[in-house]
Amino acid sequence: MNKWIGVDLDGTLAVHTNRAGGPIGKPLPDMMRRVKSWLSKGKEVRIFTARADSAVERAKVAKWLKDNGLPALAITNKKDWQMQELWDDRAVRVIRDKGTPCRECVNHTGFTRLTDC
Return the pLDDT at 42: 96
* Cα-based angle 78, 81, 85 (whole degrees, multiple of 5): 75
Per-residue model confidence as pLDDT tens digits over 60-112:
999 999 999 999 999 999 999 999 999 999 887 788 888 887 775 555 455 55
Q: What angle do CA 9, 48, 85 make, to 5 degrees?
A: 110
pLDDT of residue 115: 46
99: left (phi over 0), alpha (psi -120 to 50) or beta: left
Q: Which among 44, 28, 114, 27 is positioned nearest to 85, based on CA atoms?
A: 44
User: What are the tens digits of pLDDT across the range 9-34?
Assistant: 999 999 998 777 789 999 999 999 99
Residue 23: the pLDDT is 93
Homologous superfamily of 4-92: HAD superfamily/HAD-like (3.40.50.1000)
Tell me the mean pLDDT in the region 41-61: 96
The structural domains of the chain, with segments of one domain joined by +, span 4-92
What integer pLDDT is reported at residue 112 of this predicted model? 52
pLDDT in the model for residue 98: 83
pLDDT band at 41 (very low <50, low <70, confident <90, very high): very high
Alpha-carbon distance of 76 to 9, in angstroms, equals 11
What does the alpha-carbon distance between residue 64 and residue 82 come to, in Å, rounded to a whole number? 25
Has residue 116 got a pLDDT over 60?
no
In angstroms, the CA 74 to CA 70 distance is: 11
